[in-house]
Chains A and B, each alone.
Chain A
Amino acid sequence: MRITVGLKRTLIINALGIFCLYFLLVVSVFYFFKPSISLSILTSSRTIYSLGLSLFAATAATLIAIILAIPSAYALSRYDFRLKPLVDAFLELPLVVSPAALGAMVLIFFNNPVGSWINEHAGNFIFTVSGVILAQLVAVLGIAVRLIKAVMDEVPVRYEHVARSLGASPYYTFKNIVLPICKGGVISASILTWAKAFGEFGATITIAGSIPNKTETLPIAVFMRLSSADIEGAVVMILLSVIIGLGILYIYKRLSGHKGIPDA
């Protein structure tokens, strides 16, 4: 009992230590926070555009990622097929390859004949808003599949078996049983995907560049303001990102409802 209490205290102190580290980082930016100029930076057309673009691109990339991820996650969760281990491994690409390298790969792709054709006929992705969405999509798609697959793995296949035995087709079962049961998990996965897309920087700047009022998202705005020694401006952008990011994650935590195990 004494050992258990000791371990519990150590673990909680560890968790609080990590919290302190991040909290300290957030608090430290206030050193350069100037309320007098913050409002003008916040209401400037450049900031509003960056914020709007970030919200729009992250939402678009998340929607596309979730639509593509749901069937893929279901296939990976339920079926065995020849290339499954390979597909499964490639889902980790955004995690094992740096975002800049991922963006560079997309740029290189658009310079080969197939990519050039797509760029010409299906819309230009280089230094455009479409490019921002594409960059974020590439960065989050694998993660979205991984998150939704984890949700689907938790749904016992027996629900589908029963539905099929009652006369439901595979599509009807997927639409009326699997998806509704996974709904909460898919929403949580979407929020995490959105948060990841919202904070995406490396791939976005590589593909779409950093053109103010065109392709400058909030994370890129932080970088650009830091590059031009506009620390106060960068701080405002950082705080904006933190508020939105943490707000979204707070909603996620409330939705997923994870709680600790109560004391025995």
Chain B
Amino acid sequence: MLELKNLSVHIGDFKVVDISLSIKNSSIHAILGPSGSGKTILVETIAGFHKPCGGRVFLEGVDITAHAPEWRYMAYVPQDLALFPHLTVKENIYFGLTARGGDNETLKRNADAIAESLYIKTYFDRNIATLSGGEKQRVALARALATGNKILLLDEPFSGLHPGLRKEFWFLLKELQNRHHLTIIIITHDLEEAFFLGDHISILIDGMVHQSAAKEKSRIPKDKTVALFYGIRNIFPGIFSEQTLLIPTLNLTLPVSDCWKTQKENGKRVDVGVRAEDLIIYDTERIHGVLNLSPEVISMPTVRGKITACFEKGHSATVIFSPINSDIVLEVEIPYHKVQKLCGKKRTDIAAVAIPPDRIFILESHEEAM
């Protein structure tokens, strides 16, 4: 177990403040955040490159805050991979073995096996400059693993790859993690990457951890900052009133749910959010005819309005929906097979958006109760 306790670092214009995280062995912990949030500084401090101005780092209960990087046994892969340009692929991979002063045969065999499993052996003697982006990624991973380190610190290592190759490396990393029982901390600003790879996800914004939870619980943002970072734009003001939640801008009154982990006293103002992909949009004119909606959808709180815009994204589309008698808009994500049906509609046609109550979340608000 790798533990960060109240870790604070300040380097130039960047800082991270009071970070406390527990990273379980043989798990992938994704640290997700926008650019400039302090992700790199945090991981570099864990690696031992920066001296924290407060807090401690523990590895298996041992305080390693003062340990030099070479004595932490954590392999670091930066965003640009930093493959040593004056060494061949083989020399890069063997670097850690010779640096530790032992040309240990077992370690060499292990390094060779890793290189073999990553299909690197065919270009073992090539110069780094001649490798493609994907080949460089493989060499960087092999170099990190060759020393036998069980902790891997990855700083956006796949950000330079095209989507197809990036996905390939996600599967590869998962496979390597399973095979070698690695503990991986991966830094990313890509939500899909964090959710694909991470067993646990921590959201770092402006140098502070806003949310840290297992992947299953990370889907729901805890506060508005995280919601906005997730790209959730369906955020509306709400007020608790007599066991109901009023959302005035949508003309909706919802029964209070036990899932909402917030105090629900009368008059308390909150921000209410719902993901675009959780909303169900349908054509009201055909509701009693061709379209066969489930009773569950029909029973959901519904907002009527018009589709004002539709943005196709290849695999899905974002629909902009304007509720009647409201100046706000709802963003709805629809799968590609519905694009033709819905996006082809006239902009004046009435449609409806059903809001599944269990998908509504309450964002922590610092406003006082009325």
**Interface residues of B toward A: which range?**
20 to 34
Residues in chain A near residue B82, CB distance under 8 A = 156, 158-159, 161-162
Interface residues of B in 69-95 (CB under 8 A from A): 69-70, 72-78, 80, 82, 84-86, 95
Interface string of A158-192 (1 = CB under 8 A from B): 11011111111100110011001101000000000
Known: A167-B96, A167-B99, A168-B95. A161 touches B85 (CB 8 A): no
Quick check: which of B44-52, B204-212, B304-312 contacts chain A, the rest being far away? B44-52
Main secondary structure of the interface of A (DSSP, over half): helix
Instruction: Kindly identify which residue among A161, A169, A173, A176 contacts B76, using a CB–CB cutoff of 8 Å.
Output: A161
Q: How far is the CB of B115 from chain A (nearest CB, A)?
A: 15
The yes or no answer to B143 lying at the interface (CB within 8 A) is: yes
Known: A158-B78, A161-B44, A161-B47. A166 touches B84 (CB 8 A): no
Residues in chain A near residue B360, CB distance under 8 A = none
The yes or no answer to B147 lying at the interface (CB within 8 A) is: yes
The answer to whether A165 touches B74, judged by C-beta atoms less than 8 angstroms apart, is: yes
Q: Which residue of B lies closest to A159 (CB)?
A: B82
| Listed residue (A156, A173, A176) with the most chain B CB atoms within 10 angstroms of its CB | A176
The answer to whether A172 touches B99, judged by C-beta atoms less than 8 angstroms apart, is: yes
Q: Which residue of B lies closest to A166 (CB)?
A: B96
The number of inter-chain residue pairs (CB within 8 angstroms) is 68
Q: How far is the CB of B75 from chain A (nearest CB, A)?
A: 6
Known: A166-B99, A167-B70, A168-B99. A161 touches B86 (CB 8 A): no
Residues in chain A near residue B44, CB distance under 8 A = 161
Interface string of B129-169 (1 = CB under 8 A from A): 00000000000000110010100010000000000000000
- For chain A, the count of residues having a C-beta within 8 Å of the partner chain is 19
Bound-state Cα–Cα, A244 to B256, Å = 89
The yes or no answer to B68 lying at the interface (CB within 8 A) is: yes
| Listed residue (B69, B73, B149) with the most chain A CB atoms within 10 angstroms of its CB | B69
| Listed residue (A162, A168, A169) with the most chain B CB atoms within 10 angstroms of its CB | A162
Bound-state Cα–Cα, A172 to B70, Å = 11
The answer to whether B100 touches A167, judged by C-beta atoms less than 8 angstroms apart, is: yes
The answer to whether A166 touches B80, judged by C-beta atoms less than 8 angstroms apart, is: no
Interface string of A229-256 (1 = CB under 8 A from B): 0000000000000000000000000000
Q: Which residue of B lies closest to A165 (CB)?
A: B76
Bound-state Cα–Cα, A183 to B84, Å = 13
Known: A164-B48, A165-B74. A181 touches B99 (CB 8 A): no
The answer to whether B96 touches A164, judged by C-beta atoms less than 8 angstroms apart, is: no
Q: Which residue of A lies closest to B102 (CB)?
A: A167
Q: Which residue of B lies closest to A164 (CB)?
A: B69
Question: B: which residues have CB within 8 A of A?
Answer: 44, 47-49, 68-70, 72-78, 80, 82, 84-86, 95-96, 99-100, 143-144, 147, 149, 153
Between A and B, 22 residue pairs with Cβ closer than 8 Å are A156-B80, A159-B84, A161-B47, A161-B49, A161-B78, A162-B76, A162-B143, A163-B84, A164-B49, A165-B48, A165-B69, A165-B70, A165-B72, A165-B149, A166-B96, A166-B143, A167-B96, A167-B100, A167-B147, A168-B99, A169-B70, A181-B85
